[in-house]
Structure 1
Amino acid sequence: MRYAYVNGRYLPHKDAAVHIEDRGYQFADGVYEVVTVKDGKLVDKQAHMDRLDRSLKELEIAWPVARPVMEMIMGEMIRRNGLRDGLVYMQVTRGVAPRNHAFPTGAVRPALVMTTKKMNFAKMTKFTDGVSVITAPDMRWTRRDIKTISLLPNCLNKQKATEAGCYEAWQVDPKDGTITEGTASNAWIINDKGELMTRPATHRILNGVTRLTILKIAEQEGVPFVERAFSVEEAKRAKEAFVSSATSFVTPVVEIDGQPIGDGKVGPVCKKLLAGYNEYAAGLRTEGAVWSDDIPADEAEADRAA
């Protein structure tokens, strides 16, 4: 039987439900996290919990349970669902209150939902064959650094990618033509100098936990990297490209908008970073993501801080 966790109860997945006036359902007033599970172990658990803490603070939502209890529930969900490889999804909303745009006053308890999903990473051909992406206008709000459940613009662009037979859509800032990130992943390229490039973590993207781990691995492997925005044209001229997320790891991108990247095959840097990530997830490397709440509003502020 597959189990879900809903507000203090472990329930059969098919019976799990929340109240119709939960503010997550009414207003997308909540946040979420997705944590990879490999060989029954949570990958980058502490960094994910730190990011969840920041997201909750940004929306002024209290923890639904104490952090150690949340981690205990995650472990119990893995045990009950017999999960070896896959993910744990957790969602915290402001809770149940009569519908009103303003935050409810009085005692409203935040709601916690948790589910798991089994995945067979070893059989996923995306890692060996690479994937295709399209580009699409970025329609989202200006606080993408908060991992909120308000994902409709992401869904619309993901649907465009699906209809085009592609894995992901890279979202493009309509003001300057630079790529922000994917609908559910961070975007990376390797330029003609062999430099690894990804957009800096500001309010304009979600700072991926896997993104932080990959930067650590690149440093360990001697791969030079630059955190700056890049255009669609730069991406199409890249030697290699890839996306990263909790379930994408390092997924090579071999085609953008129908145009091959490099020679159209998975390149050596992608292979090296994916191998390094798999070693890290298996516990063979110790240095991974370290979360920081210090996220500037934009690139100009990030440059001043540097």
Structure 2
Amino acid sequence: MEPKTTKRPYVFLPWILTFVLLGALTVFGYYRGSYNPFETELMKVDLLSTMRIHLLEAIEAEKNAVMAITDEASESFALQARKAADDVENSRKELESIIQQEKRPRETEMLNDFNICWSQFRKVDETILDLATQNTNLKAQKISATQGAQEMEHFEQSLNRIIHRNTNNLCNDAVMLSYEALTAGLKILALHKPHIEEANDQEMDKIEQSIKSYDESARKALGSLCGIVDPSGSEDLNNAEAAYEQFMNLTGEVLRLSRMNTNIKSAELSLGRKSLISSQCQEILATFQETVQAPRSKATR
């Protein structure tokens, strides 16, 4: 029977040393952070670069949302703008976490400057996107150019038939009143466009006052026609009155949407206050990136 052999402790020494070393590295890595200074600088530069790219994307998408001519396009660009802004915010949070850990005064100061600018950017941006996607001026223009113009055409056709029945006497009251009603209606249609394009409330008041005056003239003329049109023209007169009534209902909707002025307001904000804030945020990020890169540039010389 062979003697039983015993394993000496030194046989396990390499394994013990390995585990101790790994444990020490883990603990050391936990307390010193996951990255060395060079890696941290690279991360900050990358985050700042990413923020600048997404900021430009957000600005461009917002401008496209403002300029879009359909609800679908406005909403699509607004979605892109919000997505790009969220990407900036995600990178900003990562950057903030690193800077708070490092506690470098200059970088902390620059981050605070950007945070203030970024907060203003997001508030104005959301206001613009909300206005742009409502598209009230474009909707008013579409109603005027399609349904409004169509009802005015029906109105004109009905009155023209009345006029043609009385062509033997150009001074006939039916002819004069028909032309009076038609002229007033066409002038109202022509005032849709300047009202839609007007940004000043006082100027819109003046346009609406003119519309009211022309409406009164048209209704007065139509009312007078009722007493003189012969039975053969009564159907045309009824059609004219129905078309005019529908036209004025559409005019009311055009004026309501136009008064909201969401497209004009969003464009003014985008070209004005938003443009200044965007430039400031971009400038801060550019300077921030240069500041972070400066120590590394010196070290490589």
TM-score (norm 2): 0.22
TM-score (norm 1): 0.21
Q: Highest CA radius of gyration, 1 or 2?
A: 2
Structure number with the higher helix fraction is: 2
- Which structure's relative contact order is higher, taking Cα pairs within 8 Å and 6+ residues apart? 2
